[in-house]
């Protein structure tokens, strides 16, 4: 998934946690639960033709995704459980990105790298519109929980 649903879902489950350590843990594990929902992730896209014609579109989409995610985290800063849940929700992707760019980077990725590889049943192996729709639903549900 893009970072927006991971940040919002992590913040949402963090808001339901009884304390900060639990908020961090459930935010972190929410990432893996969401990665089992059919989705698309531009950072780990195995289809080289999708953005080969116009890398500016890819860079723009990535910048918007990261910018909105950062803005959400800034907004949630005054709510520690939601803020830390949101941060924890994107940590596996940060770690996976470092694994892909710097082979053997030893952090958390032994599970995550298998979810993000091209052989994963759900990751980038579904129709683009459906994959974006599922991320939208996750985002809306998370926003509803956060707003309560």
Ramachandran quadrant class, 105 (left: phi over 0; alpha: psi -120 to 50; beta: rest):
beta
Of 33, 56, 47, 53, give the one whose Cα is nearest residue 128.
47
pLDDT tens digits, one per residue of 22-56: 999 999 999 888 887 777 666 555 555 655 556 77
Query: What is the model's pLDDT at position 44?
Result: 56
Chain position carrying tokens 């709510």: 79
Percent pLDDT > 70 in the chain is 70
Residue 148 host element (H or E): none
Report pLDDT digits (tens) over 70-100: 999 999 999 999 999 999 999 888 777 777 6
Counting Cα atoms < 13 Å in the Cβ hemisphere of 145 gives 18
| 87, two tokens | 């941060």
119 pLDDT exceeds 60?
no
Note if the pTM is more than 0.85. Answer: no
């Amino acid at each position: 998934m893009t970072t927006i649903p991971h940040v919002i879902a992590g913040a949402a489950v963090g808001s339901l946690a009884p304390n900060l350590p639990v908020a961090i843990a459930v935010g972190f594990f929410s990432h893996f639960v969401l990665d089992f929902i059919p989705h698309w992730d531009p950072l780990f896209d195995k289809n080289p033709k999708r953005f080969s014609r116009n890398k500016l579109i890819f860079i723009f989409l990535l910048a918007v995704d990261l910018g909105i995610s950062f803005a959400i985290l800034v907004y949630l800063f005054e709510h520690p459980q939601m803020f830390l849940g949101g941060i924890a929700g994107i940590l596996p992707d940060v770690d996976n990105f470092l694994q892909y760019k710097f082979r053997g980077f030893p952090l958390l990725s032994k599970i995550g790298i298998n979810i993000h590889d091209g052989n994963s049943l759900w990751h980038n192996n579904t129709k683009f519109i459906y994959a974006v729709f599922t991320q939208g639903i996750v985002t809306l549900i998370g926003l509803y929980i956060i707003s309560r």
